[in-house]
Structure 1
Amino acid sequence: MARKIAILVKEFPPDVIGGTETQTKRMARELDGAGHEITVYTKAYKTDQSDDSLPYEVVRVPNWRISPFVSTLTFVLAATFFLLRDAREYNILQCMMIYPNGFIGRVVNTLRGLPYFAWIRGGDYYFMKDTPVKRWMIRSVLREARVLVQTERIAADVRSEFDESSLTVLGNGVDIPSVTAEGDEIVFVGRLKDQKGVDVFLRAVAGLNESVLIVGDGPERENLEALAERLNVDAEFAGEVPPDVVPDYLRRGKLFVLPSVRGEGLPNAVLEAMAVGLPVIVTDTGGAADAVVDGETGYLVSPGDEDALGDRIEQLCRDEDRRERMGEAARAWVVKNHGWETIVDSLEDVYADVTNMMDR
């Protein structure tokens, strides 16, 4: 059944190209291809964000960019107004992030009756749940709405604090490239922030005589470049690159490392690395761990344990046969569980369930 779907996401490419934003853009593309009519509501920026190549509509919501707080507050108010105005045009509202977007969905549902659901993406839960006002907003959505989470691990974390939650596990979708990795570098992709643990990664590879490729940018880049130089790590910092070319960098690798120390959802980069046939080594934090079958598609290590991380990296670097075997298993796993056909089919079931709940 074709539906008219509004997707609410706070940021959107090309202005912001993080995991949630990139996933939303690709998901909207796939839903449009499946016959649904898609409109994305997102922040307006000062620059011209028009993109005639997109097959769906993007509504840019005005906001005052005086500070992050003011920008978010004015976006929430304006997005609520826009969606209240347009609610009768849609069958369902899909809120990417439970805070603040899920709360906007709750208000629109209360005042206009538009069926909605929220999708916890990681940081919108882990970094927001301990602030009293944000926790109240999160709880109000969890009590009344269907909420999606990316992995079983995230579902368990949410239920441990909000046991009344109605949760459905649905992970990210990923494009499956026809060409796989054939490189010789250890690759990391992500924002260069404290939570990503790239400093732990650099210390773990110090002395291994391996080349490292770090793709991404952020506030810690200068410090990390200095650390790599002090540790004499052969590290290339590629900077931020468009999401569509990330697979080109991943294909330069022989394995992928995500050394996060806290707060992960289900990172696109892990799935994309697996899709090009790389074994992955990730830390056991948030939902990232659920993307790995330990010992088969990669390895799990404890967050911040640079010795364990270094040992696993060294094992895979020295054992080409094991790398190839794990890389093949990783690609097969992600094709089966996170190919777009699987994700779209599951989303369509969610749309039907949420709509039917409202009709009762």
Structure 2
Amino acid sequence: MRVLVVATNATPKGLINEIRTGRHQRIDYLELAQRFGTVHHDYNALRPGRLFRQIEDLFRCDIRQAIDVALLAKRGSYDAVLSLSERVGIPLALLLDRRIHHMVIFHHGMSPQKLRMIRTLKLQQRWDVVAAISRAEADGMRTALGLDDQRVVALHTPVDVDFYKPSRPSTGQEAFIQSLGLSHRDYPTLIRAMRRLPHISCHLRVGSTWVTRRGGHEKEDLPPNVKLQPFVHPDVLRQCYEESRFIVVPIQASTQWSAGCTSVQAAQAMGKPVVATRRPGLSEYLIDGETGLLVEPGDERSMAEAIESLWNDPLRVIRMGRKAREWIESHYSLDRWLDKVQQLIAQVVCQGRLPVSGMPR
């Protein structure tokens, strides 16, 4: 079974060595390529083209990569292509030889524009399996695209629990809380919440390995208890998690239902509770009241109350942190995710393309 793994990012120089030496978490597409005994395709394979990249980033659609992959898949006699993002999965649906099976993982499956494009071009007929990164998004895409249960699956993003793991027990009395990440963050609401809590120190690490945009905090006057910290390498990031009493992940109310999930997972893997915004997808990445607390979008008062209640209860912080580590390790480990992806691809290749509900082949 020949499978081509497609990643929509560039692989930094030296990354493999950093993983080998334990300075970086394992990466899904590298692990998949190794499991399938195959190669992966990423942005490093494309010719430099700044203008093309800007246009593709604007429309969130990797047309050049789709063209490359379609040619490579046909020349290499691949049985299946696994697109790890809809950025390449959508244009590739139009270009890939229909005899080659195609599975695509959607990270923003409830985007009205994407759903409209898929329905207009009837792209749902081109994919063997559509994987959404939450049950809520899988259900939404299933309904919006008229697909049956076998064609749309929930495939929650994984975390490398061997990399993100606590080196020492939490005291429940660490000196500050922390919020990290960039994608769809609602830092203004968190900053306003922290103004209500002058006795609690909060560190903001605004940044991302995968996206570049403004964080939303730039126009806010930071209170004295909120400190901006630099974005750091994953090897240092582990220490940042460990030094925090707990983690806050404020998310905007948008159609990006699972935004923030990787930060929520990493925090729990490090044995830290999480205060997060209640979103249809993100809510599946913690257990409200057991591994973290959920608050409504844009509600600074509720966020402040959740932060203060957890801050004032060190024993609860310890208890929730332990539960969080156990839950993430047993449900969302990278190895469990790899097993599931392998199983899905094997089923597709062995059984052939499944019919689309209500639509002819």
Given the two structures, how large is their TM-score scaled by the length of structure 1? 0.79
After superposition, where does 1:100-249 map in structure 2 within 5 Å? 100-109=87-96, 111=97, 113-122=99-108, 125-127=109-111, 129=113, 132-133=116-117, 136=120, 140-141=123-124, 144-164=127-147, 166-176=151-161, 177-179=165-167, 182=170, 183-191=174-182, 195-208=184-197, 209-217=199-207, 219-221=213-215, 224=217, 227-229=220-222, 232-249=223-240
**Quick check: 1:185–1:211 contact (8 Å CA) kept in 2?**
yes
2:6 maps to amino acid? L
> SS at 2:283's partner residue?
helix
Return the offset for 1:200. 0.3
User: Once structures 1 and 2 are overlaid, which stretch shifts more, 155-164 or 59-68?
Assistant: 59-68
CA spacing shift, 1:214–1:93, aligned 2, 3 Å:
same
In the alignment, the residues of structure 2 paired with residue 142 and residue 304 of structure 1 have an alpha-carbon distance, to the nearest angstrom, of 38
After superposition, where does 1:1-360 map in structure 2 within 5 Å? 3-14=1-12, 26-33=27-34, 35-44=35-44, 59-60=45-46, 62-65=48-51, 68-69=54-55, 76-88=62-74, 89=76, 90-98=78-86, 100-109=87-96, 111=97, 113-122=99-108, 125-127=109-111, 129=113, 132-133=116-117, 136=120, 140-141=123-124, 144-164=127-147, 166-176=151-161, 177-179=165-167, 182=170, 183-191=174-182, 195-208=184-197, 209-217=199-207, 219-221=213-215, 224=217, 227-229=220-222, 232-262=223-253, 263-265=256-258, 267-358=261-352
**Quick check: 1:205–1:310 contact (8 Å CA) kept in 2?**
yes
In the alignment, the residues of structure 2 paired with residue 286 and residue 63 of structure 1 have an alpha-carbon distance, to the nearest angstrom, of 37
CA spacing shift, 1:180–1:237, aligned 2, 3 Å:
farther
**Quick check: 2:194–2:226 contact (8 Å CA) kept in 1?**
no
**Quick check: 1:171–1:338 contact (8 Å CA) kept in 2?**
yes
Return the offset for 1:270. 0.7
In the alignment, the residues of structure 2 paired with residue 72 and residue 93 of structure 1 have an alpha-carbon distance, to the nearest angstrom, of 25
CA spacing shift, 1:242–1:92, aligned 2, 3 Å:
farther
Aligned residues: 327
CA spacing shift, 1:212–1:345, aligned 2, 3 Å:
same
> SS at 2:220's partner residue?
helix
Identity of aligned residues (%): 19
Could you tell me which runs of 5 or more consecutive residues in structure 1 were left unpaired when the two chains were aligned: 18-22, 45-58
User: Once structures 1 and 2 are overlaid, which stretch shifts more, 162-171 or 202-211?
Assistant: 162-171
CA spacing shift, 1:146–1:134, aligned 2, 3 Å:
closer
Given the two structures, how large is their TM-score scaled by the length of structure 2? 0.79
Q: CA RMSD in A?
A: 3.1
Could you tell me which runs of 5 or more consecutive residues in structure 2 were left unpaired when the two chains were aligned: 16-23, 355-361
- Larger relative contact order (CA 8 Å, sep ≥ 6): 2
CA spacing shift, 1:359–1:326, aligned 2, 3 Å:
closer
Q: Going by fraction, where is helix more abundant, 1 or 2?
A: 1
